[in-house]
Every structure is written in C-alpha cells, then in structure tokens.
Structure 1
Amino acid sequence: MLALAIAPLPAAASILSYVGQCVPFAREASGVRIFGDAWTWWDQADGRYPRGHVPKVGAVVAFERSAKLRLGHVAVVSRIVEKRVLMLTHANWSRQNGERGHVEQDVTLFDVSPGNDWSEVKVWYRDSDGLGGSTYPVHGFIYGPRAGVTRELSAESPDYVASLIDAYGR
C-alpha cells in the first residue's frame, strides 16, 4: 500500500503477474496517473478525474486511511454483480503462499454502508476464505480513462454466485 517508484509493466506482460504494492498496480490497470500513498488519491483526483459513489468497471476504489489501512488502499472494479456487490482486482491485500503483494482477480467487495453509498465496505480476504469481520471506509470511485475496460481485470467466467454468497451468506 506504500507508493514506490516502480516502472510500468512491459506491454507484453500480464498485469496479473505483478507483485508489489497496490498503488502501481491500480495506476497501471486503470490508467489513473496519480502517484503517492493510496490514501492521497481521492484528493489528488479532484479536478483531474471524475469522482463519484457509483461503481463502474475500470474505476479505482479509493479506500480511506484508517487504523487497519494506515496508507489507505486502491483497487480496480472488475465486475458489477448487483447494486451492493461488485468484484475488484487489486494487489497486496491477502497473502498468497505466505507472501503479500500478489494480484487477486475478481475479489468480492460488499457495500455495508447504512446509506447504500459505498462509503463502508467489506472485502473478501483469502486468509479467512471469505469476507472478514472488518469494515473499511471508502472515499468513492475515481473514473479514469479506462473506465469500462477490463484488460485482464476480470476472468472469463467469474463466480457471481460465490460473490453473492460471500456478501449475503455470511
């Protein structure tokens, strides 16, 4: 979640093979050219990119800084499942083979905000094999030049049913 100066992936490389922080991944996957810690993206986007509270494929989800996310977090919307459930693709969330930094594709994001405005969410967490008990504050969505584009963000056949079970079944 720390922003590091990392060169973009070579054009032939898969964005899914990236290992590192969430910021360079989100920048590459979304085309939103913002630098710095994830928690600064929302304010940096003001006047540069449209922002809002409605998810769109390819948009960046900007998580607020919190006790659990000291540097915030950014992820990219890969699929919209229904009004309060979507899938995102992001880096450096769950551990894979004991390591952080890997990309996770089509992860469930569930809107648990009282106003149904995506201001508070739960995220699927590989380590617990489901939505964790933690909720995270979200600024909103940053709509970049690749909004609507899913270049490797989503699998050919994502598991919508599992996503809904993750959200409503727990």
Structure 2
Amino acid sequence: MKGMISKAILSLAALIGVTPSPARSLLDYVGQCVPFARQASGIEIYGDAWTWWQQAAGKYPRGHTPRIGAVAVFQKTGRLPLGHVAVVSRVVEDRVLMLTHANWSVQNGERGHAEQDVTLFDVSPANDWSQVRVWFRDSDGLGSTTYPLAGFIYAKGRPARELTSDHPDYVGALIDAYVAR
C-alpha cells in the first residue's frame, strides 16, 4: 500500500511539473467559413453564410461601414451558393480593408485553410461596400469576380487576437486594390 501511495505521489508531482501545450492558433483552422467567422468574431450565428445578414437583425448591430471585428456577409451567388462570411481585420482606407477568413483560396492542395489580412476592395459605384473584389491566393492577386456584399455585422465583444498580424502589408493591399482596377 505504501509503495502505491509513493508511486501516486511521484506521478502527481510529474504531472504538476508538466506544462500544457499551447492552444492551437485560430490560423491553424481548416474547415468552413461559418465556424471560423463565429470563433474569430464572437458573433453567435449559425447556418449558411448567406443567412447571417437576416439572422443578425435584432440580435447584432448591422451596417455598411467596415469596422475591425465585424463580419462581412457575402450574398449567395452562382459562385457562392452558400454565401461567405469573413472578419474585418484592418481598415486600410475608405475602399480598401483587410479581412481574415477561411475556405477561400486553395492552400497545400486543399480548401478550408484560414487566411489572415487578405485584401477586400470596394468596387461599388456608390462606395457603399455593396460590391467587392477579394484577394485570391490561387492567382496571387485580387480576383476578377465581383461579389455582392449584404453588409457588416458588428460584434459586441472583442475579436480573436490572431485576427490580424503584427505587421500587415498596407502597401500591398493598396497595390492589390488600385492596380487591379
């Protein structure tokens, strides 16, 4: 009995000295855009991405001005049959921002990976963020497709700390946007 207690104490001491491994980063995420946006923004909405705009009515403030931590809701289209959601990570200027999202570009031969500080360019005639173009890793530049944006859902809390990098490439975002016009 005494030997069993000693082994238990030694085992417990060994466990106490072991530090837990750090939590995985939000940027290690691989999956759909909806769970990623929910985790990154703290906005608790479920269902297909295109439904978020309507679901947010009365639950979360909504609008057409980008803010850090807000979720950009892409409407359903032929190319985006389920829509898309992404979280604003930086506002660069009136028509250019950066977003962090998942399941957009192909990385390591598969879709679903998270991408941080990706350029989003407002190409709407009224400068109201109703039509946008998104940086696309597959072509290493701003994509040629224009997507309709329902607007932005504003989070009530603080977004995930990994939403943006310490040194985002503002100049690159501006070049992506304005050279591709």
- TM-score norm. by structure 1 comes to 0.91
The answer to whether 1:161 aligns with 2:162 is no
| 1:45 is the counterpart of 2:35 | no
Equivalent residue letter for 1:168: Y
Distance in 2, matches of 1:150 and 1:37, equals: 21
The 1-side partners of 2:142 and 2:160 are apart by 23
**Partner of 2:163: helix, strand, or coil?**
coil
Post-superposition offset of 1:150: 5.2
Tell me the secondary structure at the aligned position of residue 42 of structure 1.
Answer: helix
Mapping of 1:12-161 within 5 angstroms? 12-146=23-157, 149=159, 151-161=161-171
* Offset of residue 129 of structure 1: 0.5
Determine the C-alpha separation between the residues in 2 that align with 1:48 and 1:54. 18
- 4+ residue segments displaced more than 2 Å: none
Task: Name the structure with the higher helix share.
Answer: 2
Q: Aligned partners of 1:82 and 1:46: how far apart in 2?
A: 27
- What is the number of equivalent residue pairs in this alignment? 159
Letter in 1 for 2:133: K
Tell me, in whole angstroms, the C-alpha distance in 2 between the residues paired with 1:145 and 1:17.
25
What CA distance in whole angstroms lies between the structure 2 residues aligned with 1:15 and 1:150? 8
Structure 2 unaligned regions, length at least 5 = 1-21
Q: What are the superposed Cα offsets for residues 136-162 of structure 1, whole Å, 9 maximum, x if unpaired?
A: 000000001235x45101010000000
Residue equivalent to 2:11: none
| Letter aligned with residue 164 of structure 2 | S
Deviation at 1:78, TM superposition (A): 0.2
1:53 is aligned with what amino acid? H
1:80 partner amino acid:
V
Distance in 2 separating the partners of 1:14 and 1:145: 22
1:33-89 deviations in Å (ceiling 9; x for gaps):
000000100000000000000000000000000111000000000000000000000
CA distance in structure 2 between the partners assigned to 1:165 and 1:32 by the alignment: 31
Match in the other structure for 1:3: none
Distance 2:103 2:165 in 1: 19
